[in-house]
Amino acid sequence: MQPLEGVRVLDFGTLLPGPLATLILAEAGAEVIKIERPGRGDEMRSYEPKFGADSVNFALLNRGKRSIAIDLKAPGAVDRLAPLIVGADVVVEQFRPGVMDRLGLGYEVLRNINPRLIYCAITGYGQHGPRKDVAAHDLNYVAEAGMLSLAAGADGAPVPPAALVADIGGGTYPAVINILLALRNRERTGEGCKLDLAMADNLFTFLYWALGNGLAAGEWPKPGSDLVTGGSPRYNVYRSKDGKFIAAAPLEQKFWENFCDAIGLPPALRDDAPDPAATKRAVAEIIRGKSAAEWRSRFERRDVCCSVMASIEEALRDAHFAARGVFARKLVAGGETITALPVPVAEIFRPRGTEAGYPALGEANSLMK
């Protein structure tokens, strides 16, 4: 048995944070029923490019789920969903605060139907507070939590992060963690609960070192000047002779010494404490003297914490990830097959079958009365 086998999840979420959270639950064995509006469904179905009848984004995030199409504003909608609510273990929603209440599907109503229900509300700013009703996206959350201030480009201006840190790191992962905690707590108490998860709140966990430096020593980090924001030669990205990039992270002294030996850094510059900028310039000049392939060969089998930057396409062909089975699971639709979205569920908890599709809009409407 998978650990979440027998757990039923009603997913009212759209786009990324909620659907990715329920995908992780589904991969661990939960039955996930996606609640969508008739006709169009989740907005992400309409995105490009397509895979099968809908967008590949939707397909990747909703693999292995089922779909119900229902107008939540229509009279009797709650009554039609009631049998599902009675038998559900988890509800996930990511509307603005108050929307589910106005639809007659707020926590208090659902708790009266099913006291064991775990109700997870994912929002940008939480269920209360001055910003609770403000429209925003990932970039807004990282800006207001201070994270964006550390992401400087070559001209000193912040650049948008390469990953949707707030949506996934601040929304999806905390949702999964807290749902599992709530399920464990329910085993002891028999009672469900409401989870108020704010993506902006959860970004501060990623800034632990910045908070520590600032609060304890008054040394608030700046872009391009601190240990992990580009100020240290021991944690930086250097351009090679052929225009590729070397990610060098020999932070600890033993790795730094190995790195200095490997690149032939002059002894006078190996103590980077007095003038880290001078050491960084010297390292950059040395790295520019050889191609990425030459550096890869030189760093091989040395403990130097250095990598040649890969494109996403190259990473998909990486022998290490292939050996680990990262891309072994497949998404199928309309006779086509692509790699399924890897999720952080240990292999021992995954289903034996490696192929699965995604739901057509409303294919499980028979589950409603």
Residues catalogued as catalytic: 137, 167
d(CA 231, CA 222): 9
Best CA proximity match to 192, nearest among 82, 112, 99: 112
Backbone angles phi, psi at 226, to 5 degrees: -115, 180
SS3 332: strand
Count CB atoms within 10 A of the CB of residue 235. Answer: 17
Residues sharing a CB contact under 8 Å with residue 19, sequence separation 6 or more, in sequence order = 11, 13, 34, 42, 44, 61, 62
- Peptide bond preceding 351 in cis form (omega within 30 of 0): no
d(CA 161, CA 301): 32
What angle, 0 to 180 degrees and rounded to 10, lies between the N-to-C axes of helices 173-189 and 17-27?
A: 60
Joined together, the tokens standing for residue 290 give 């050889």
**Residue 348 identity (one-letter amino acid):** I
Q: What is the DSSP string of 58-97?
A: HHHHTTT-EEEE--TTSTTHHHHHHHHHHH-SEEEE-SPT
